[in-house]
Amino acid sequence: MGYRVKLDIFEGPFDLLLYLIRKHEVDIYDIPIHHITQQFLEYLDLMKMLDLEIAGEFIEMVAILMNIKARMLLPKSVFADENDIDDPRTELVERLLEYKKFKEAAREMSEFEEKRRHLFARQYIFQPPETKEISTEVYLQNVSLFD
């Protein structure tokens, strides 16, 4: 279960919030990033352990949201000198699509692991074929030099 956000306009998983922002169903102007950050810090305190990978991903996504929000709030002329004239949400959309691919791959691997968990292979023990010993006495009894 991932991190859940509780805001006046949205309550649910953080991934879903990012998805709704991407689909323009939630306005980026209505997202209080300070509240999200405060809730996440409380969440970390409740967990009583800091998983740096999860915290790093969260901080990266909040930084992207802050960057998008700053670009949307500032006049377009501020960014006229930069080469980055594109919509600031484009990078977020690209990251979300990449994240979706990894999440789907992780789900498929989890399903594969779950299926394989219930399979048990029989251990193969190599047994060479049995050989019959041939008695040489029987053949040599009736042999002479003149045969």
Average pLDDT for consecutive 10-residue bins of the chain (147 residues)? Answer: 74 80 78 79 70 72 79 69 60 78 91 88 80 63 66
Residue 28 lies in a domain: yes
Residue 82 lies in a domain: yes
pLDDT at 33: 79
**In which element (H, E) is residue 13 found?**
strand 11-13
Phi/psi region, residue 51 (left: phi>0; alpha: psi -120 to 50; beta: rest), is beta
> What is the domain range of residue 98?
4-126
Residue 37 lies in a domain: yes
pLDDT at 51: 66
| Residue 15 to residue 95: CA distance in whole angstroms | 12
| Residue 43 to residue 22: CA distance in whole angstroms | 25
Residue 134 lies in a domain: no
CA-only gyration radius of the chain, Å: 34
Q: Whole-model pTM?
A: 0.35
- The total number of structural domains that make up the chain: 1
Residue 142 lies in a domain: no
b/e 53-85 (16+ beta carbons within 10 angstroms → b): ebeeebeebbebbeebbebeeeeeeeeeeeeee
Residue 93 lies in a domain: yes
Residue 140 lies in a domain: no
Residue 136 lies in a domain: no
pLDDT at 111: 93
